[in-house]
Structure 1
């Protein structure tokens, strides 16, 4: 196999000067990710300078460095390492024949990205490249591009934003042939005057489409027409998806189950019946977006359906764990990665669809939703009907943002308001019992994933094979 990058290729791409010869099979700007053979890029940020971590990167086995200062180790020197990362990303894009798909949305973008990766891998094994984790910002997107092998057939790139103009810059770098908006909702509302402004910012992803490109738009979203306006300005083809029969890709029949969904969908002239290995109505919409993208990319819809059936175990985004507790076991639904009003409502609906076994209860550990601005109190209080509808018996809420929800629920159910994740862990240890079902969800900065990690240490068995709580 040819290396991902040689020193000469890096120097040519970045306009830098090579000092020593080396070949790299990976790229990172986090020294902790070095496992041997990577190019380590010493980025300079507002809070830190990657050059401080050169010794650690070398000790861990970095093959070479991209730096803006001299080094005794093999390196390519450039004036600006951030500009170097972007140049390397553009070179990776231009040297590969890969069809590139960009994915954004207020909710669902990581799930759709992962599902697309699996669906296209069924069609093109060992030839699909995708963003890892949620590397979707101004450094994560160019890093994901720079990691794309030269012989990739497909590249799937998640793109996020919390300010206007950010997506325009990212999509201009990726230059996708297919661009998806999964949904528009009030995420990052602190930075936007209205939800319409969020829709406009999400619509920026279409501005980077290559000539002849395809825009994929959620038909059922209240901002559909606004998104379609942006798409028509840049796309040669537009595909809508949703539950409405008027959508180009739509569900003709849906059966929701506690651990999966079964769908019959119309994709243009094709009709497909398939299972989704993730629960919830929101995943039906995600799956339809995936099918629309596979169709636009020339992939195999039947193989995509098989991949969707196997989709499960996304940590932080719906993974289910069976953990040991006194007297038996409990189920944990791990939605700990992030939260906004739309995703909170969707996750609570999934919890409500699960019938706990025997004497079990539905429990929720919910963290505050960040970046909602002046409407934060209203958005948090508005979660109360969703909590009640889900049949939650006891709820632990974390952070100051959750005060309005705690007040709204105080007379309806057992509410425990705590300051942080460690305090939430203490309450979970007291509360979680045999046959209970616990939903964990909140903004990532609250570190509720740490609570899940502790519970993961008590795992009895992962849920799978159609197992449910009942």
Structure 2
């Protein structure tokens, strides 16, 4: 049999000749100013000894209540090839005066050694989904050479860790950056040094640490301070804080791109219609060029997110076609929209119910959007377990009470409120029987996630139910999701 020649030959790339190791001990020592005990090479970087896999480099970080040096034996036992330490253990290591400073140094070195297009993402909501969609789009179009921060590693530890994990051959990097205090993003963005910086939206998340939404907008705008020369800032045109963000971006960006429905948006929504399976068919104008694509995830917020994604892909020189495919195939993330079909009895007799997992985070804006989407979700009965929204400051009671409107839009039949802060919403809904909604919604108010699980079990999950679980991560509603999802069909 005659062999057929290859139909496609990938162009040669200098990085193809790069070593397979993520880091060698000599590279690590040079980057962080340490001293290696012996030659070794690593394929990953980890700070949690429980998550170490064979070949990892373990950083023994010191925290307020723990010291990573206590877990070195466990890290080596799980296959760590080496560790970064402040005092010598029995295994291969690089010794430094300060392991946290060393992690930051390794992250900065990783950023400096790549010839890659870097995107930074922040915002009060949507940043993890935008980061994941961008990664999927850019990885598809770069022979698997995209890198991103995993989970929600977006703080002063997660960002340098994500950078340190970036291979030298990376072509695109996408990094999520979060904050809950002024000045935090400024430090992170100067470490990431993005070519494109995105603010997804401004909402009263962590507002307890700020004087108001304007201060949150200013803090989110710090992401532009780290832009590389010639960098692009991408901001929401429909935000009431657009002018504030634009003024901040203009100080640091060579170009500011606005996305949204507003007539003056540079990346503008032209049309959005419901697609089969709960998604949306979008037509957008990218500055004189129209594109049409499907979003697999339901919700108006994903329409806005998709415009930011398209703007970023174009700005970084990516493939818009790959971005459209990534959006069509995007699935819900654990704690942020993942959907599960779980067994159920009674109800419509289907034997199945829909579980919507939004248990990782909550603020007034994301609560409203998610409840509105619940109201558009086909179901014979809609059940919502809503946990308290944390870090809302002096206006905490008002923000919770104002969820009464979104609950009505969500067409909720059964409502379980969790946490002391939710008393304001229970009162607003007329738990005493005085409000107009009280007659239709079955409301229960409990203090803990365990109480909520018992309350749900007493009533049961019925066939045809749509069950939404959403709250701040500290409320612990993820345990309810894990228990129910374990029965997924």
TM above 0.5:
yes
The 3-state SS of whatever aligns with 2:170 is coil
1:301 and 2:320 correspond: yes
**5 Å matches for 1:37-186?**
37-186=55-204
**Given the alignment of the two structures, is residue 373 of structure 1 paired with residue 399 of structure 2, yes or no?**
no
Work out whether residues 245 and 252 of structure 1, in 8 Å CA contact, stay in contact via their aligned partners in 2.
Answer: no
Q: TM-score, normalising length from structure 1?
A: 0.96
- Once the two structures are superposed, what CA deviation does each residue of 1:392-438 show, in whole Å capped at 9, x if it has no partner? 01100100111101111123221111111111111222232111101
Specify the alignment match of 1:277 in structure 2: 296
With 235-244 and 261-270 compared, the bigger mean Cα shift is at 261-270
Q: Secondary structure at the match of 2:73?
A: helix
Q: Is the contact made by 1:165 and 1:201 (CA closer than 8 Å) also made in structure 2?
A: yes
The TM-score normalised by the length of structure 2 is: 0.92
Deviations 1:361-414, CA, capped at 9 Å, x for gaps: 011000000000101000000000110121101100100111101111123221
Q: Return the offset for 1:125.
A: 2.6
**Quick check: 1:256–1:280 contact (8 Å CA) kept in 2?**
no
Equivalence for 2:5: none
Looking at structure 2, the residues matched to 349 and 121 of structure 1 have their Cα atoms a distance apart, in angstroms, of 32
Aligned-residue offset at 1:113: 0.3
Q: Residue 442 in 1 paired to residue 465 in 2?
A: no
How far does residue 150 in structure 1 lie from its aligned partner after superposition?
0.3
Alpha-carbon deviations, 1:53-90, whole Å to 9, x = none? 10110110000000000111100000000000000001
Instruction: Say whether residues 1:266 and 2:285 are aligned partners.
Output: yes
Which position in structure 1 is the counterpart of 2:354?
Answer: 331
| Distance (Å, rounded) in 1 between the aligned partners of 2:133 and 2:50 | 27
Q: 1:153-201 deviations in whole A, cap 9, x for unaligned? A: 0000000000000000000101111000000010001100111000000
SS at match of 2:264: coil
Q: Is 1:416 matched up with 2:434?
A: no
State the secondary structure of the residue aligned to 1:440: strand
Equivalent in the alignment of 1:464: none
Q: Matches of 1:264 and 1:33 in 2, distance apart?
A: 42
1:220 and 2:249 are equivalent in the alignment: no
CA shift, 1:355, in A, is 2.1
Question: Equivalents in 2 of 1:369, 1:313: separation in Å?
Answer: 21
Counterpart of 2:427?
A: 407
List structure 1 segments (4+ residues) > 6 angstroms apart after TM superposition.
none
Instruction: For residues 258-282 of structure 1, give each alpha carbon's deviation from its aligned partner in whole angstroms, at most 9, with x where no partner exists.
Output: 7211100111232111110110101
**Structure 1 position 447, deviation (Å):** 1.3
For residues 345 and 310 of structure 2, what CA distance do their matches in structure 1 show?
43
Q: Contact (CA 8 Å) 1:105, 1:182: kept in 2 or not?
A: yes
1:426 aligns with 2:454: yes
- Greater CA deviation, 228-237 or 251-260? 251-260
CA deviation after TM superposition for structure 1 residue 119, in Å: 1.1
Match of 2:217 in 1: 199
Q: How many residues align?
A: 457
Q: Deviations over 1:15-68 (max 9, x none)?
A: 000101110000011001111100000001111111111011011000000000
Bigger radius of gyration, 1 or 2? 2
The whole-number CA distance in structure 2 between the counterparts of 1:336 and 1:9 is: 40
Q: CA deviation at 1:305?
A: 0.6
Task: Give me the whole-angstrom Cα distance separating, in 2, the residues matched to 1:8 and 1:138.
Answer: 25
Partner of residue 382, structure 1: 402
- The whole-number CA distance in structure 2 between the counterparts of 1:189 and 1:238 is 26
